[in-house]
Chain A
Amino acid sequence: MADILIYLETAQSSDGAALKKPAAEVATAGRALADALGGRLVAVITGSVAPEGVLGRHGVDEVLHVEGDAFGRHLLDAQAAALEAAMADVEPASVLLAATVLGKELSAFVAGRTGRALISDATSVGADGTQVVASKPKYAGKAMAQIAATRPSIVSLRPNAVPAAENPREAATRTLAVEAPAARVRLREVVPSAETQLELTEADIIVSGGRGIGGPDAWDEILGLASALGAAHGASRAVVDAGWRPHAEQVGQTGKTVSPKLYVACGISGAIQHLAGMSSSKVIVAVNKDPEAPIFKVADYGIVGDVHDVLPMLSEAAGSFLAG
């Protein structure tokens, strides 16, 4: 039992199936863990995706493919059956997957059904002897715990926490026959959102606005800077509560936890519940007219000024900087 199994989520977009961005990160972490334990890295994928090439590039030795209509869309009972069949086949020391909404649900559900130790939302994973040990943020990122699994485990990995690295090899593919279980949860409808943007938790760059933006009409300044930087856009809770932006864009303790490479906080005071959702960003830039705003305590770069002056200026500079 030294092999590692990774479960790779396919995008749920109505545009069709594709591996989600964290797949390469999960594969990279899986490869390193398999090497530490002296085992192989096996990936399980479901539905109509055939991404052996991509997987081989990130160090996967073998791909188990579970085909069939029941496995196309992510429905918990079917995905759990597929993952459990792969686990029975590989008998892995640990299973890794991405700590997305679906990944968190699936990992806990399967851990419960198979009696495995669960470590949820880890930011790194490694081995101490034969034991799997992971770091995970607790208290909304105000502390980091080192957690060891004393039994075979399932670990979900926070997106954007482990940088993807290449480790090319030939990945052989094998079809795994799995009978679809009775679907106790059924899909009725998918309503696409009015505005499509990259999932916040997967974005490399995020521009977020707070109450300091002043109102929904001025949001164009946030969208303008986001577009100039090729970034996704987020918001503070004050903005969401005021109805300026949808909850899907909220960053913080009761919103999304993000760790992009670059987080630009505009007109956000930096309340502890907001910091909870973004303080693990690699680089933080803050724009606020109050030099005492707590956001400056976590910022790498601080601009004391009015967002209505600074954002247009920064958007314009970024436009020509990135084009040049």
Chain B
Amino acid sequence: MKIIVCIKRVVDTETRVKIGADGKSIDLGGVQFITAPYDEMAVEKAIQLRDEAGEGSVTVVTVGPAAATKELRTALAMGADEALHAVTEEHLGPNATAAALQAALGDRAFDLILCGKQATDEDDAAVGPLLAAGLGLPCVAFVHSLTVAAGHAIVEREIDGETEILEVDLPAVLTAQKGLAEPRYPGLKGIMAAKKKPLESVPAEVTDGPTEVRALELPPARSAMVTIEPTPAGMQTLLTALRQEKKVL
């Protein structure tokens, strides 16, 4: 079972966003970076699948800046076997990211590609299905359960409050929703071992993306809060305001 996991270096979810001088991206000064949370779940699941099968390998791949070596090393420390880094300092949109991933994978053989359902910076939820399309593979996005059998996988996902159980031919591209696996913290042994694991860097093949960011702005500030007394009269005031001023009731 050869599994490829696509991961992304993103700004920490705690980050207070400031707009950069170009007006199109965020100011990265003092910002902490992490592996996108859903990508970590995908890495964990891949390691578990390999260990349950007792054979195979987990390759983590990223398209991103030179500094993303840190996130790749973390995945290796969790237990992935090797890493592939397609390096670019450019900020890529979803189409270009998927194209660069596909180019980096080249003609590597694999049974399964796992991605996080979305990276928590762009929030596009797009790279998994775009990559599947580019590779001509079937795709199921947002899976919270996955088991592998001969030639296919059984996955579950939630649609409109119902759980769909789907069977998908392998190889396939699946994207991880919360619940798929709880990422482990790499131990000291893992961190030491990761230093010796193979990490291959190649320049990313950057194509002109078909989208361009024209501007990035902070969302409009919300109006000042009105304090409501925790009394029956206060509740009346609130309900009246919601109906008459805000027109939401």
Contacts and interface: CB of A to CB of B under 8 A. Distances in A.
A304 B159 contact: no
Chain B at the A interface: SS class: mixed
Given A109-B130, A121-B124, A146 B226 contact: no
A280 interface: yes
Contact of A109 (B37, B132, B211): B132
Contact of B125 (A108, A133, A306): A108
Contacts of B11: 139
A317 B236 contact: yes
A107 B121 CA distance: 19
Chain A at the B interface: SS class: mixed
B13 A193 contact: no
Contacts of A153: 210-211
Nearest to B126: A108
Given A142-B219, A144-B217, A108 B130 contact: yes
A185 B140 contact: yes
A254 B178 contact: yes
B98 to A, nearest CB: 6
B15 interface: yes
B133 interface: yes
A116 B210 CA distance: 7
A117 B230 contact: no
Contact of A303 (B160, B222, B230): B230
Contact of B228 (A104, A297, A301, A316): A301
A102 B132 CA distance: 15
A187 interface: yes
Nearest to A110: B133
A314 interface: yes
Nearest to A128: B214
Given A247-B178, A301-B228, A133 B214 contact: yes
Contact of B239 (A101, A115, A117, A317): A317
Interface string B196-238: 0000000000000111111111110011011111111011101
A105 B142 contact: yes
A138 interface: yes
B132 to A, nearest CB: 6
A101 B128 contact: no
Nearest to B11: A139
Interface stretch (A25-33, A59-67, A214-222, A271-279): A271-279
A280 B161 CA distance: 22
Interface stretch (A8-16, A38-46, A169-177): A8-16
Given A199-B160, A302-B227, A303-B230, A146 B214 contact: yes
Contacts of A115: 210
B216 to A, nearest CB: 5
Contact of B13 (A102, A190, A273): A273
A205 B248 contact: yes
Contacts of A95: none
B238 A184 contact: no
Nearest to B131: A112
B122 interface: yes
A247 B161 CA distance: 11
A284 B248 CA distance: 11
Contact of B235 (A279, A283, A304, A313): A313
A302 to B, nearest CB: 5
Interface string B95-117: 10010000000000000000000
Interface stretch (B54-62, B69-77, B167-175): B167-175
Given A120-B94, A186-B166, A282-B248, A101 B159 contact: yes
Nearest to A321: B239
A101 B160 CA distance: 9
Nearest to A119: B211
Contacts of B238: 285, 301, 303, 314
A74 B241 CA distance: 42
Contact of B123 (A140, A205, A282, A298): A140
Contacts of A89: none
Interface of A: 11-14, 20, 74, 76-77, 101-102, 104-113, 115-121, 133, 136-151, 153, 184-193, 196-197, 199, 204-205, 229, 247-248, 250, 253-255, 257, 261-262, 272-273, 276, 279-280, 282-285, 296-306, 309-310, 313-314, 316-318, 321-322
12 contacts: A13-B160, A76-B138, A105-B140, A112-B129, A118-B126, A121-B124, A142-B16, A145-B213, A262-B246, A300-B223, A314-B235, A317-B235
Given A12-B160, A248-B161, 11 more contacts: A107-B126, A108-B94, A110-B133, A113-B133, A139-B26, A143-B217, A145-B213, A146-B216, A284-B222, A302-B227, A305-B230
